[in-house]
Structure 1
Amino acid sequence: MKKILIEIASYRDDELGKTVASLLRQAKHPERLRFAIAHQYGPETEHTLDKYRDDERFRLHEIPWHEARGLGVARRRCDDMYAGEDFYFQIDAHMRAEREWDARLVREWEARDDEMAILSSYPPAYKYVAPAQVEFVPSDPNRLVVNAMYAGFVPTFFGQALRADTSRRGAFLAGGFQFGPGRVCTEVPYEPDVCFVGDEIIHSLRVFAAGYRVYSVLDQVLWHLYLRSEHQPNARHFWKDFQETSELAEIYEQMNARSLEVMRRYFVGQASDVRAFEEFAGVDLQQHTVHPDMYELPNLPMGSGGEWRSRSMAPRTQA
């Protein structure tokens, strides 16, 4: 039976235990699952994974929260725990699973008949409406489009609903949902110098350069917690904790500055790879603009020969 490595980078997340329990409980074949978890814990989450320490399916990298050094480092730790599994499944620490999610994902990936396929989209949401009451909010399958430019030059994304006639082929990867061949973990390990925002565009660029192909997910087998609420008193955020802690604020500023500089270098990078990605995806990483037809979700590639660049426009923030 094909094995799945579930990669989770978690920062003081009190949803982590519920996420793991949901994945195990809802899997058709829980025995096929393997977990690579970067557990950056605080006093409120230190013992979240105690029950799994003797479970051979689990590989844990655990450090106290103040030793965390950004999302890229944590995701790279997960990649480093890859041990030859057939598939990798990168998700966030705050998810809920549908029944038989594992079999359904493998079935959808195999239906692509493309050994270089990676399934990736933004999952539908769940939210807390009371301290112990979760509400699930359905949404349509989507393709990632550029939503804004963080710091004026880093694309961030929005999941735009697919139409019946829309190609499933995409260009951008969702950080919290990627399912594909396990060898991606060694062929395209995560860039550790990306602090937080920007990990999706950098990984999309690197995966494209390595020859992998992104496809939207039709069978939405996971739900994602996007917004924290007053019903989650223990919700913590990496950037907030570090900026509000005097001895860590400078470290955070250094990490963020390093991250922005690394991304600038990527966008220049190997010119042929970057230009090819821009033509395919319809994003101009030098002008910080997008193809004027991006939000119509046309078939990819978006352009050829660069003629569209003179007509490109600022990203259109999506509602």
Structure 2
Amino acid sequence: LTQSTIFISICSYRDSELQHTINDMFKKAYYPNRLRVGICLQVEENDSINDVFDYRNQSYSKQIKEIVLNYKQSQGPCFARYLIQQNLYDQEDYYLQIDSHMRFDEGWDVTLIKQLKQVDDGSKHSILSTYPVGYEQPNQIPEHAKPTIIVAKTFSKDDNGFEMVRLGAKIVLENHIEKPIPSLFFAAGFAFSFGKIVKECPYNELPFIFFGEEMYMLKKFISKGYKLFSPTEPIIYHLWKRSYRKVFWELSNESMEAKLTFDN
């Protein structure tokens, strides 16, 4: 376990929480020296958030690799995750995909590995994934938080009449959950699996996709025999508030006219 490496994929769009996410991640890991981080940093040269990006000057900086893009080159999270997988992943044992605004429980790395091994049948085709419990800035993590599981909420249509299922999270109220809970859905902002998932189910470029990302990837996972599970405890927390940061769809409307197409 102590020799296993974890690759952490983070796509970040003009997000001042990125540095705090990275600091908390290394601080809370039992084995921080086993972490390898790949970041697709989409930022504007004059953004004030550049002044606080101190993760480049820490003891763990050598464990971080970056792809830096001007934010105007951004083509959404799928494209960013594609770049990370194609250029920064280096055959690490485990693969963790998160957003750039997260917080962690103590020993999160060991907990994730142990829970993944609990549900793996030897095929290494298991994924731990859920919509995480929220935190508040700067570091307010709720005490005694319960785990969550993804559920289908409703269907919605976009401007072109394309209909898709909308997902949400429900709190699991049961106490003393012994092993991860089988789940039907995938959360792109918190997903943990064996490293082989990058080769077997890689991201495609898929420019300007946001709400279609999770269902698209779910189709890939199911076609390759992967099974999804929700962890028995929160482990990782997400900042759901968006008002403090920019989002990629604030780019020109002209560039956002892409449609989701499924690969065969």
TM over 0.5: yes
Residues 1:183 and 2:196 are matched in the alignment: yes
Q: Equivalent residue for 1:66?
A: 72
C-alpha separation in 1, matches of 2:259 and 2:21: 29
Distance 1:189 1:52, change over 3 A: farther
> Could you tell me whether the CA contact under 8 Å between 1:8 and 1:92 is conserved in 2?
yes
Normalised by the size of structure 1, how large is the TM-score?
0.71
> Could you tell me whether the CA contact under 8 Å between 2:146 and 2:233 is conserved in 1?
no
**Residue correspondence of structure 1 range 149-160 to structure 2 within 5 A:** 149-150=155-156, 151=158, 152-160=162-170
Residues 1:17 and 2:19 are matched in the alignment: yes
C-alpha separation in 1, matches of 2:42 and 2:172: 36
> Could you tell me whether the CA contact under 8 Å between 1:124 and 1:138 is conserved in 2?
no
Residues 1:145 and 2:147 are matched in the alignment: no
Q: Equivalent residue for 2:61?
A: 55
| Residues 265-316 of structure 1 deviation map (CA, whole Å, 9 limit, x = unaligned) | x2xx65xxxxxxxxxxxxxxxxxxxxxxxxxxxxxxxxxxxxxxxxxxxxxx
C-alpha separation in 2, matches of 1:182 and 1:64: 29
- Aligned-partner SS, 1:9: strand
Q: Select the residue among 171, 178, 184 that pairs with 2:184.
A: 171
Q: Equivalent residue for 2:36?
A: 34
> Could you tell me whether the CA contact under 8 Å between 2:131 and 2:169 is conserved in 1?
yes
| Residues 83-117 of structure 1 deviation map (CA, whole Å, 9 limit, x = unaligned) | 11010000010001111111111111112233211
- Aligned-partner SS, 1:46: helix
Distance 1:105 1:63, change over 3 A: same
- Aligned-partner SS, 2:135: strand
Higher mean C-alpha deviation, range 2-11 or range 143-152: 143-152
C-alpha separation in 2, matches of 1:205 and 1:143: 19
Instruction: Looking at secondary structure, tell me which structure has more helix per residue.
Output: 1
Distance 1:137 1:79, change over 3 A: farther
> Could you tell me whether the CA contact under 8 Å between 2:145 and 2:234 is conserved in 1?
no
C-alpha separation in 2, matches of 1:202 and 1:159: 19
Higher mean C-alpha deviation, range 88-97 or range 38-47: 38-47
C-alpha separation in 2, matches of 1:117 and 1:54: 29
1:54: how far off? 8.7
**Residue correspondence of structure 1 range 145-294 to structure 2 within 5 A:** 145-150=151-156, 151=158, 152-162=162-172, 164=174, 168-193=181-206, 195-229=209-243, 232=244, 235-240=245-250, 242=251, 248-252=252-256, 254=257, 258-260=258-260, 262=261, 266=262, 270=264
1:139: how far off? 4.4
User: Aligned pairs, how many?
Assistant: 247
| Residues 174-233 of structure 1 deviation map (CA, whole Å, 9 limit, x = unaligned) | 11110001111121111321521111111111111111110111132111100135xx4x
Residues 1:111 and 2:118 are matched in the alignment: yes
> Could you tell me whether the CA contact under 8 Å between 1:125 and 1:138 is conserved in 2?
no
CA RMSD for the aligned pairs?
2.4
C-alpha separation in 2, matches of 1:24 and 1:12: 21
Letter paired with 1:59: K
C-alpha separation in 1, matches of 2:215 and 2:58: 33
Residues 1:88 and 2:95 are matched in the alignment: yes
| Residues 224-249 of structure 1 deviation map (CA, whole Å, 9 limit, x = unaligned) | 100135xx4xx111112x1xxxxx33
| Residues 32-65 of structure 1 deviation map (CA, whole Å, 9 limit, x = unaligned) | 0000111101322335243269933111111111
- Aligned-partner SS, 1:45: helix
1:160: how far off? 2.2
> Could you tell me whether the CA contact under 8 Å between 1:38 and 1:62 is conserved in 2?
yes
% identical aligned pairs: 27
Letter paired with 2:62: E
C-alpha separation in 1, matches of 2:22 and 2:38: 11
> Could you tell me whether the CA contact under 8 Å between 1:12 and 1:236 is conserved in 2?
yes
> Could you tell me whether the CA contact under 8 Å between 1:70 and 1:196 is conserved in 2?
yes
| Residues 57-78 of structure 1 deviation map (CA, whole Å, 9 limit, x = unaligned) | 1111111111111111001112
> Could you tell me whether the CA contact under 8 Å between 1:105 and 1:219 is conserved in 2?
no
Letter paired with 1:191: N
Normalised by the size of structure 2, how large is the TM-score?
0.85
1:155: how far off? 1.8
> Could you tell me whether the CA contact under 8 Å between 1:143 and 1:170 is conserved in 2?
yes
